[in-house]
C-alpha cells in the first residue's frame, strides 16, 4: 500500500520479554517518527529519524527502549525486558522532509499489551 505500514497490529507479551515493532514508512519519506499513546494520554514523542540517523531521541523513556532505521526506510523499535507500564499503542509516522509543512502521515499503530 501507499501508506505507513506497521506490524504487528497487536502484540500481547509477558512482563520481562523483549518485543520488536516494525514500521515501513511511505516511500521517499526521509523523516520517520515514533510516538506512543498510553491509555487516556496524548501522543508522546519517542524518537525522530532523518535518514538513518536519529538527531532526536529525547523521548525514549528508558534505556530499555531503542530504535534503528536501515536503508533510509524501515525502522524497528525494540523494547527490552518489557514492563506493564510499556502497554500502549505505538505509532509510527513519516514525512517527506521534515516539519516545514508539519504534516505527518501516521500508521495505524501497534497495540502492545504487557501482562
Partner 1 sequence: DQQVKQNSPSLSVQEGRISILNCDYTNSMFDYFLWYKKYPAEGPTFLISISSIKDKNEDGRFTVFLNKSAKHLSLHIVPSQPGDSAVYFCAASDTGGGNKLTFGTGTQLKVEL
Here the cell at position 99 is 516539519
Residue indicated by cell numbers 522532509: 97
For partner 1, the closer CB: 86 or 107 = 107
* Contact present, 18 and 80 (Cβ < 8 Å): yes
Contact characters 1-20, partner 1, x per CB under 8 A: ---x----------------
Tell whether residue 74 is a contact of partner 1 (CB under 8 A).
no
CA–CA separation, 73 vs 30, rounded Å? 8
Exposed / middle / buried, residue 52 (Cβ in 10 Å: 0-12, 13-18, 19+)? middle
Tell whether residue 101 is a contact of partner 1 (CB under 8 A).
yes
For partner 1, the closer CB: 27 or 101 = 101
Tell whether residue 57 is a contact of partner 1 (CB under 8 A).
no
Tallying the residues shown for the chain, one arrives at 115
CA 96 to chain centre: 17
For partner 1, the closer CB: 14 or 103 = 103
Tell whether residue 72 is a contact of partner 1 (CB under 8 A).
no
Contact characters 22-51, partner 1, x per CB under 8 A: ---------x-x-x----xxxxxx--x-x-
Amino acid at each position: 500500500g501507499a501508506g505507513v505500514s506497521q506490524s504487528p497490529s497487536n502484540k500481547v507479551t509477558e512482563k520481562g520479554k523483549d518485543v520488536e515493532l516494525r514500521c515501513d514508512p511511505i516511500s521517499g519519506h526521509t523523516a520517520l517518527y515514533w510516538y506512543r499513546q498510553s491509555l487516556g494520554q496524548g501522543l508522546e514523542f519517542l524518537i525522530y529519524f532523518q535518514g538513518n540517523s536519529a538527531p532526536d531521541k529525547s523521548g525514549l523513556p528508558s534505556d530499555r527502549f531503542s530504535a534503528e532505521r536501515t536503508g533510509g526506510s524501515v525502522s524497528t523499535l525494540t523494547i527490552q525486558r518489557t514492563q506493564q507500564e510499556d502497554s500502549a499503542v505505538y505509532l509510527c509516522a513519516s514525512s517527506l522532509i521534515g516539519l516545514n509543512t508539519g504534516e505527518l502521515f501516521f500508521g495505524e499503530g501497534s497495540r502492545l499489551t504487557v501482562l
